[in-house]
Amino acid sequence: METFYKFLENNSIYIVLFIVLVIWFGIFVHLWNTDKKLKQIEKEIKEIKQNEK
């Protein structure tokens, strides 16, 4: 267990960077999925408006 604590002390900046990268990746994936859904909704709205005319 002591070696694990030494590892954390020596490499703490890399652990923090990894966590930040995972968070940014999650944000990017979430925004990408939201954009895809919005584009699909916009397409459906355009089709509905064209059918009403």
Identity of the residue numbered 27 = I
Question: Is a pLDDT exceeding 80 seen at residue 53?
Answer: no
> DSSP strand E in the chain: where?
none
Q: How confident is the model at residue 25 (pLDDT cuts 50, 70, 90)?
A: very high
- Residue 16 has a pLDDT of 94
Joined together, the tokens standing for residue 2 give 């002591």
pTM over 0.85: no
Determine the average pLDDT of the residues in 24-29.
98
